[in-house]
Chain A
Amino acid sequence: MLEVFIFATLNGLVTGLLLFMLASGLTLIFSMMGVLNFAHASFYMLGAYVAYSISLYFGFWTGLIVAPLIVGLLGALIERYGLRRVHQSGHVAELVFTFGLAFLIEEAVQFFWGRDTKNYQTPDLLDFPLFTLFGQEFSAYRGFMMTISIGIFIALYYVLTKSRVGIIIQAAITHPQTVANLGHNVPLIFMGVFGVGTALAGLAGVIAGPVLTTFPGMATVLGSIVFVIVVIGGLGSLAGAFIASLMIGLLQSYAIASDVGMPDLLNLLGISFARDHPLNDLWTINLPQIAPVLPFLLLVLVLIFRPTGLLGKREE
Chain B
Amino acid sequence: MRNFQALIVISQPIRKLLTTLSLVCTLSLGSLSIAQEPVRIAFMDPLSGTFASIGNTGLKILQFSADYYYNSRGGILGGRMIEIVPLDNKQSPNETQLQFRRAVSDDIQIIFQGNSSAVANTLNQTISRHNRRNPGQEVLQINYSAVDPILTEDNCSFWHFRFDAHANMKLNILTDYIAADPDIKSMYIIGQDYSFGQVVSDTSIELLKQKRPDIEIVGNEFHPIGQVKDFTPYVTKIVSSGADAVITGNFGADMVSLARSIIDSGLDIPIYTFYAAYDGITATLGEGGKNRIRLIHNGVANPLPSEERKQFNRDFKAENPNFDVTQPRILNALQMVVTAIEQTQSTDPYDIAVALEDMRFTTIGGEEIWMRGDDHQIFQSLSISVHTDEDIEFDADNSGWGLRTEYQVPKEDTIVESSCQMRPPRR
Q: Which A residues form the contact surface with B (CB < 8 A)?
A: 1, 3-4, 7-8, 11-12, 14-15, 110, 114-121, 129, 132, 134-137, 139, 141-142, 211-213, 215-218, 220-222, 225, 252-253, 256-257, 288-289, 292
Beta-carbon nearest neighbor of A115 in chain B = B53
Q: What are 12 of the A-B contact pairs (CB < 8 Å)?
A: A3-B240, A4-B240, A7-B239, A114-B53, A117-B256, A117-B280, A135-B267, A137-B264, A212-B229, A215-B50, A215-B280, A217-B50
Distance A44 CA – B222 CA, assembled complex (angstroms): 27
Query: Quick one: which of B221, B223, B234, B240 has the most chain A CB within 10 A?
Result: B240
Contact B227 A14 (CB under 8 A): no
Beta-carbon nearest neighbor of A136 in chain B = B239
Distance A27 CA – B89 CA, assembled complex (angstroms): 37
Contact A115 B236 (CB under 8 A): no
Number of chain B interface residues as a range: 35 or more
1/0 per position for B215-241, CB-CB distance to A under 8 A? Answer: 000000111101111101111110110
Contact B50 A257 (CB under 8 A): no
B232 contacts which chain A residues (CB < 8 A)? 7, 11, 14, 142
CB distance from B226 to the nearest CB of A (A): 6
Contact check: which of B52, B266, B283 meets A137 at CB < 8 Å?
B266
Contact B230 A117 (CB under 8 A): no
Q: Is the interface of A mostly helix, strand, loop or mixed?
A: helix
Beta-carbon nearest neighbor of A286 in chain B = B222
Distance A222 CA – B286 CA, assembled complex (angstroms): 26
**Known contacts A15-B230, A115-B50, A257-B236; can you find 18 more A-B pairs with CB under 8 A?**
A1-B240, A7-B236, A8-B233, A114-B53, A115-B56, A116-B279, A117-B284, A118-B280, A118-B284, A119-B286, A137-B264, A211-B260, A211-B264, A221-B226, A257-B233, A288-B222, A289-B223, A292-B228
B221 contacts which chain A residues (CB < 8 A)? 288
Q: Which B residues form the contact surface with A (CB < 8 A)?
A: 50, 52-53, 56, 193, 221-224, 226-230, 232-237, 239-240, 252-253, 256-257, 260-261, 264-267, 279-281, 283-284, 286, 397, 399
A7-B236, A11-B236, A292-B224 known; A212-B257 Cβ under 8 A? yes
Beta-carbon nearest neighbor of A138 in chain B = B265
Beta-carbon nearest neighbor of B235 in chain A = A136
Contact check: which of B50, B234, B239 meets A135 at CB < 8 Å?
B239
A253 contacts which chain B residues (CB < 8 A)? 233
Distance A136 CA – B237 CA, assembled complex (angstroms): 10
CB distance from A136 to the nearest CB of B (A): 4
CB distance from A255 to the nearest CB of B (A): 9
Distance A7 CA – B230 CA, assembled complex (angstroms): 13
B283 contacts which chain A residues (CB < 8 A)? 117, 119
Distance A58 CA – B224 CA, assembled complex (angstroms): 37
Contact B239 A213 (CB under 8 A): no
Distance A118 CA – B399 CA, assembled complex (angstroms): 12
Beta-carbon nearest neighbor of B266 in chain A = A137
B399 contacts which chain A residues (CB < 8 A)? 119
Distance A11 CA – B261 CA, assembled complex (angstroms): 11
Distance A289 CA – B224 CA, assembled complex (angstroms): 7
CB distance from B81 to the nearest CB of A (A): 29
Contact check: which of A117, A118, A120, A139 meets B264 at CB < 8 Å?
A139
A252 contacts which chain B residues (CB < 8 A)? 233
Contact B240 A292 (CB under 8 A): no
A256 contacts which chain B residues (CB < 8 A)? 223, 233-234, 237
CB distance from A314 to the nearest CB of B (A): 30
Contact B230 A212 (CB under 8 A): yes
Distance A116 CA – B193 CA, assembled complex (angstroms): 23
